[in-house]
Structure 1
Amino acid sequence: MHKWESLRNPSKLIERVISTQSSQEVADNRLRLITTIESVRLLACQGCAFRGHDESVNSSNGGNFNAVVDSFGRMNIDIRRVLQNAPGNAKYTSPIIQKQILNILGNKVRTKIREEVGDAKFCILVDEAVDVSNREQMAIILRFVDCDGFIRERFFKVLSAADTCSQTLKDEISKVLTQYDLQLENMRGQGYDGASNMRAKGVHDIWEFFSTLSLIVNFVDSSAKRHSALRVIREEEIADLVAAGAIETDRGANQLCTLQREGATRWGSHLRSISSLIKLFGATQTTLADLVANGPNKLQGEAKCVGNAMKRFDFVFCLLSMHDVMKITDFLCQSLQKKAIDIFNALNFLSITKSKFQDMREDGWNDLIVRVESFCCQYDIIMLDMSAPYKKSTRAYEQNITNEHYYQVNILNAVIDFQLAELDSRFADNSLELLLLSATLDPHMECGYFLADIQKDPRFANTTTVSDLCRRLVESRKSAFFPMIYRLICLVLTLPVSTATTERAFSSMTIIKNKFRNKMEDEFFDDLMVLYIEIEFADSIDNDSVIAEFEVSGPRRV
Structure 2
Amino acid sequence: MRGEWNRLQALFLRECPYAYYVHCFAHKLQLALVAASREAKSVHQFFENLNFIINIVVGSSKRNDELQSVQVAEIESMIASNEIETRRGANQIGTLQRPVDTRWSSHFNFVCSLIRMFHATCSVLDIISKEGTNYSQRSDAEATYMVLTSFEFVLILHLMKEIMGFTNCLCQALQQNYQDILNAMKLVSTTKSLLQNLKNEKWEHFLDTVKSFCEKKNEIDVPDMNARYTRARDRSCRQNEESFMTMEHHFRIDVFIAAIDFQLQELDNRFSEHAVELLRLSATLSPQDAYKSFKIDDICSLVEKFYRQDFIEQEKIILRFQLDHYKLDVPKHSDFQNMPTLSELCRGLTISGKSKIYNLIDRLIRLVLTLLVSTATTERAFSAMKLVKTRLRSRMEDEFLADNLVVYIEKEIVKDFTTEMTMDEFYSIKDRRC
TM-score interval, smaller chain = 0.7 to 0.9
Taking the aligned partners of 2:393 and 2:42, their CA distance within structure 1 comes to 44
4+ residue segments displaced more than 6 Å: 509-514, 519-525, 527-530, 537-540
Does structure 2 conserve the Cα–Cα contact (< 8 Å) formed by 1:509 and 1:529? no
Q: CA deviation at 1:240?
A: 2.4
1:384 counterpart letter in structure 2: P
Matches within 5 A, 1:412-423: 412-423=256-267
1:441 aligns with 2:285: yes
Of residues 283-292 and 317-326 in structure 1, the stretch that sits farther from structure 2 once superposed is 283-292
Identical residues among aligned pairs (%): 36
Q: Partners of 2:184 and 2:410 in 1: how far apart?
A: 29
Q: Which of the residues 184, 199, 207 maps onto 1:369?
A: 207
1:499 Cα shift?
4.0
**C-alpha deviation, 1:328, in angstroms:** 1.0
Query: Is the partner of 1:489 in helix, strand or coil?
Result: helix
Contact 2:227–2:247 under 8 Å retained in 1 = yes
CA distances 1:13-51 after superposition (whole Å, capped 9, x unpaired): xxxxxxxxxxxxxxxxxxxxxxxxxxxxxxxxxxxxxxx
Residue matched to 2:368:
492
Superposition map of 1:144-163 within 5 A? none
The equivalent of 2:175 in structure 1 is 337
Q: Partner letter of residue 391 of structure 1? A: T
Q: Which has the higher strand share?
A: 1
Q: Give the corresponding residue for 1:177.
A: 13
Say yes or no: does 1:383 pair with 2:222.
yes
Note if 1:360 corresponds to 2:204: no
Q: What CA distance in whole angstroms lies between the structure 2 residues aligned with 1:469 and 1:249?
A: 49
Determine if contact 1:313/1:384 at 8 Å carries over to the other structure: yes
Residue 160 of structure 2 is aligned to residue 316 of structure 1: no
Match of 2:314 in 1: none
Question: What are the within-5 Å matches in structure 2 for residues 135-534 of structure 1?
Answer: 138=1, 168=5, 173-179=9-15, 182-184=16-18, 187=19, 190-191=22-23, 196-197=31-32, 198-199=34-35, 200-297=37-134, 299-380=137-218, 381-393=220-232, 394=235, 397-398=239-240, 399-443=243-287, 444=289, 445-446=291-292, 447=294, 450=326, 460=336, 463-501=339-377, 504=380, 531=404
- Pick closer, same or farther for the CA change 1:417–1:232 going to 2, 3 Å: same
| Superposed displacement of residue 313, structure 1 | 1.7
In 1, the alpha carbon distance for the partners of 2:281 and 2:111 equals 39
Q: For each residue in 1:408-454, what CA deviation from the matched residue of structure 2 results, as whole angstroms up to 9, or x when unmatched?
A: 11111111111111111111112112222222222222347646655
C-alpha distance after superposition, 1:85-137 (max 9, x if no partner): xxxxxxxxxxxxxxxxxxxxxxxxxxxxxxxxxxxxxxxxxxxxxxxxxxxxx
Give the number of the structure whose alpha-carbon radius of gyration is greater. Answer: 1
Contact 2:9 2:21 in 1 (8 A): no
Unaligned runs of 5+ in 2: 295-323, 423-432
Look up the match of 2:321.
none
Equivalent residue of 1:190, what SS? coil
Deviation at 1:209?
0.3
Q: Tell me the TM-score normalized by structure 2.
A: 0.74
CA displacement at 1:310 relative to structure 2:
0.7
**CA 1:503 to 1:233, structure 2 compared with 1: closer, same or farther past 3 Å?**
farther
Contact 2:381 2:405 survives alignment (8 Å): no
Give the secondary-structure state (helix, strand or coil) at the position aligned to 2:38: helix
2:230 is aligned with what amino acid?
Answer: K
CA–CA distance in structure 2, aligned partners of residues 403 and 328 of structure 1: 27
Q: Is the Cα–Cα contact under 8 Å of residues 184 and 373 in structure 2 kept in the other structure?
A: yes
Aligned-CA RMSD value:
3.6
For 1:346 and 1:319, the matched residues in 2 are separated by: 28
2:22 maps to a residue whose letter is Q
Measure, in 2, the Cα distance between the counterparts of 1:362 and 1:507: 43
CA distance in 2, matches of 1:535, 1:337: 19
The letter of the residue matching 2:257 is: N
Conservation of the 8 A alpha-carbon contact between 2:385 and 2:405? no
Contact 1:189 1:495 in 2 (8 A): no
Q: Structure 2 counterpart of 1:244, which letter?
A: S
For the 8 Å contact 1:337–1:500, the answer to whether it is kept is: yes
Unmatched runs of 5 consecutive residues or more in structure 1: 1-137, 140-160, 162-166, 543-556
Q: Is the 8 A contact 2:104 2:168 kept in 1?
A: yes
SS of residue in 2 equivalent to 1:359: helix
Partner of 2:408: 535
Residue type matched to 1:412 in 2? F
For residues 234-260 of structure 1, what are the alpha-carbon distances to aligned partners after superposition, in whole Å with 9 as ceiling and x for unaligned?
A: 122223223333334443232222111
Q: Deviations over 1:362-394 (max 9, x none)?
A: 112111111111111111201111111111254
Does the CA contact (< 8 Å) of 1:288 and 1:307 recur in 2? yes
Quote the Cα distance in structure 2 between the aligned partners of 1:295 and 1:524. Answer: 56
Distance in structure 2 (CA, Å) of the matches to 1:312 and 1:509: 48
How far apart, in 1, do the equivalents of 2:90 and 2:334 lie?
A: 43
Q: 1:466, CA displacement in angstroms?
A: 2.1
Distance 1:233 1:459, change over 3 A: farther
Of structures 1 and 2, the one scoring higher in RCO (CA 8 A, sep 6+) is: 1
Moved more, 317-326 or 397-406: 397-406
1:188 touches 1:495 (CA, 8 Å); kept in 2?
A: no
